[in-house]
Amino acid sequence: MTFKKKNYYTVEAQAKELVPGFREAYSIFEERVVLDRLSKSLITNYGRNVCHLALHFGRLPHEVSIEEINSYLYRKTVHENLSESYFKQTVFGMRFWFRLFGKDEKALKLPVIKKEKKLPEVLSKEECKALFKAPRSLKHRFLLAFAYSAGLRMNELRHIKISDIDIGRMQVRVCQGKGKKDRYVILSRYIKSRLSHYLKEVKPQVYLFEGQTPGDVMGERSIQYIIKEALLKTDIRKPVSMHTLRHSFATHLLEDGVDIYTIQHLLGHSNLRTTLVYLHIAQVIPKVGKSPLDTLYGF
């Protein structure tokens, strides 16, 4: 059963209005995300696709059979040519939803999403310098350089407060990064030398990088726009995002001789395997050690 679309503000509002029991079920979904302290973007990414599925069948998602879901996914991706991302987000969303409503056996029967083993895109040091120089705005130049200097994730960068910068210890405190963990990262000497000028000229009040309203964090779209506009003024033809700067930070540290365990700590990776990918990217010249026989005899 497919409902005829009406002029609702969002697909979520439409599902809540038209699918019996969905409003209450969706509230449980939102509550679980908050209680588990999961990312708010999870509601957006998973929730939207779950709403579409509920609307398509006119039933609560956990009442839809695996066979029906598989047919739905096949039709959407093959006949309607929807993206790989849509397929993945629907599967992940339904897996979360099934487990939430005690349907673990259904969650296990959903299609397996294989991780793509792609190496991340990385900028050269010269490309980084060109990117940081490109914006006309001091705020934008400082933002790009700061993000790279500490290898920060988008959300970590947005929530850095002026008070998180410890000039005496040459550290920046990252509060509640991924996995709700705090950590300290490098304060670059270059950043330190320009920090007082930035604070004097830009005059942020609470956060280092604020939006149009003083004291409020800068939006993700604003930062994405800054990167896009800077990129247009360079000869760089690689796709660049905030995470590209993070990948470049890690790769350049490795090329500069920093050990992989230190890089793991700086990036906030809980698993070393996540950090090891940079070994496949970095242009590291292997250091040939001495034979133990030579060390025995002082050669």
Which runs of consecutive H residues, i.e. helices, occur in 36-185?
A: 40-57, 66-74, 84-100, 104-109, 125-133, 138-150, 154-158
Active site residue 278: yes
pLDDT of residue 124: 92
Active site residue 115: no
Active site residue 189: no
Active site residue 178: yes
Distances (CA, A) of 161 to 34, 120, 210, 220, 246: 24, 29, 10, 16, 19
Q: Which of 269, 280, 290, 297 is catalytic?
A: 269
CA 206 – CA 223 distance, rounded (Å): 18
Q: Which of 139, 153, 173, 194 is catalytic?
A: 153
Active site residue 243: yes
- The full set of domains in the chain, from first to last, is 11-109 (no CATH), 125-280 (1.10.443.10)
Q: Which of 32, 161, 173, 243 is catalytic?
A: 243
pLDDT of residue 88: 85
Q: Which of 46, 148, 207, 278 is catalytic?
A: 278
91: nearest Cα among 116, 118, 109: 109
| Averaged pLDDT in 10-residue chunks for the chain of 299 residues | 52 92 93 80 83 93 92 86 83 91 88 74 92 96 95 93 95 78 89 95 96 92 95 93 92 87 86 77 61 60
Q: Which of 52, 246, 247, 252 is catalytic?
A: 246
**Cβ distance 159 to 222 under 8 Å?**
no
Q: Which of 32, 178, 184, 194 is catalytic?
A: 178
Amino acid at 147: A
Active site residue 273: no
pLDDT of residue 205: 96
pLDDT of residue 269: 83
CA 81 – CA 150 distance, rounded (Å): 40
